[in-house]
Chains A and B, each alone.
Chain A
Amino acid sequence: QQPVQSPQAVILREGEDAVINCSSSKALYSVHWYRQKHGEAPVFLMILLKGGEQKGHEKISASFNEKKQQSSLYLTASQLSYSGTYFCGTEGYGGATNKLIFGTGTLLAVQP
């Protein structure tokens, strides 16, 4: 099943913070986060592995709660360049390939 992201869309003013959640019905080995701007390819942000990992990338950080099968992406002091659609990509256990199942997506719009 496809991971569910919330919220579906969010509008921010520059400098505001946002949290995007990704929830899976299956056990997860890792969670990948991507940002996609309109008409462009998804861009890799970060990956979190099992173990309750947290990671930071400039003003964007993320956490992964393996037990709850959830991950959250935190955007602080948002900038106009943060606008786009954010996708989580989840990797489960088993199987011969490291395939990702992408979430439903969250549209983020940052306004001046």
Chain B
Amino acid sequence: SAVISQKPSRDICQRGTSLTIQCQVDSQVTMMFWYRQQPGQSLTLIATANQGSEATYESGFVIDKFPISRPNLTFSTLTVSNMSPEDSSIYLCSVETGREYEQYFGPGTRLTVT
């Protein structure tokens, strides 16, 4: 398994501003993922972040809105840019590790945009 931390745990932001979410893992991992989860809903994959390469975004998510950095094998950031109330959600990072290449999730960042 892996121990994953995220910062901040929650934030309230004004529309039009940007927030950077940090994800730290206690071991080196190749693949990291960023998800969005609306309250009471399922998880939606935003992008896959591999160290040393550009992030791969899913349909409906673009780099200008959700730029991602992956500077090393234990850390990644997701920025939510030019926020609107529709961006209010829980953002989770996950890592792929373990004997069966399962994914482990961070505690999430609860974002509210006013």
Residues on A facing B (Cβ under 8 Å): 2, 32, 40-44, 47, 87, 89, 96-105
Contact = CB atoms under 8 A, between A and B. Distances in A.
Interface stretch (B69-77, B79-87, B100-108): B100-108
Q: Chain B's interface: helix, strand, loop or mixed, by majority?
A: strand
B96 A47 contact: no
B103 A96 contact: no
A87 B43 contact: yes
Interface of B: 1, 31, 33, 41-45, 48, 50, 56, 58, 92, 96, 100-108
Nearest to A40: B107
A2 B60 CA distance: 14
Contacts of B106: 41
A41 B108 contact: yes
Contact of A44 (B42, B48, B104): B104
Given A41-B92, A96-B56, A101 B105 contact: no
A96 B44 CA distance: 18
Contacts of A2: 42
Nearest to B96: A98
Contact of A102 (B43, B48, B102): B43
Contact of B42 (A32, A40, A99, A105): A105
